Amino acid sequence: MNILWAPWRLKYIEKFNEKSEANEENECVFCKIAQEKNDDANFVVTRSEHTFVVLNIFPYNTGHVMVVPYKHVPTIEDLTMDELKDLMRMTKLIVKALKKAYSPHGFNLGANIGRDAGAGIEEHFHLHVLPRWRGDTNFMPTISNTKVIPEDLGTTLNKIRKALNEILRDERALDL
């Protein structure tokens, strides 16, 4: 599939290659991002006690994020209730932030467990949050095998962080 107007893409292909090499040494991309504490460069939106939220560097749509537990486990039943609660709390928060930042018409939430189910990084469980717009699966991808991603990832990162900060500020204000 061709991507139109994607000036940022080369940088991410390079990054992906680095990550692929890291994978050959059995280093997990999510663990690496979690440990590096280089959140701007890694497009980490936010972190909590057990979870971080990161932009998908090959997004299906603008605002496509992944909610990832720090714990390196392949499947949901390996997470404790505390870790699951935190994961869902962060999922709720990021859905709110995406609504505020982008006003999508809907969302897909989901996880692929196991390579045969489509998991790209099967050794480390993660939940996809994908904003959807009416018509986003329309004729462009179908007829021309081309998908338009209208925004670079740095801009997306800033917009989601801003919305998230506003939500957290409002929630704190409500608590008072």
Q: Of 31 and 95, which CB lies nearer to Zn ion in the complex structure?
A: 31
Type of residue numbered 104 = P
Q: Which residues contact 127 (CB under 8 A, 6 or more apart)?
A: 66, 67, 68, 87, 91, 109, 110, 111
Residue 36 beta carbon to Zn ion: minimum distance, rounded to whole angstroms: 12
Q: Is 31 in the site for Zn ion (CB under 5 A)?
A: yes
Q: Are 156 and 55 in contact (CB under 8 A)?
A: yes
Is 126 an active-site residue? Answer: yes
Is 30 a binding residue for Zn ion by CB under 5 A? The answer is yes
By CB under 5 A, name the one of 50, 64, 124, 126 that touches Zn ion.
Answer: 124
Does 121 contact Zn ion by CB under 5 A? no
Place of tokens 């699951």: 84
Is 32 near Zn ion (CB under 5 A)?
no
Residue 50 within binding range of Zn ion, rule CB under 5 A:
no
Rounded to a whole number of angstroms, the minimum distance from the CB of residue 88 to Zn ion is 20
CA distance 176 to 171: 9
126 contacts Zn ion (rule: CB under 5 A): no
Q: How many CB atoms lie within 10 A of CB 104?
A: 18
Q: What are φ and ψ of residue 109, in 5° steps?
A: -115, 135
Rounded least distance, CB 28 to Zn ion, Å: 3
Q: Which residues are catalytic?
A: 126
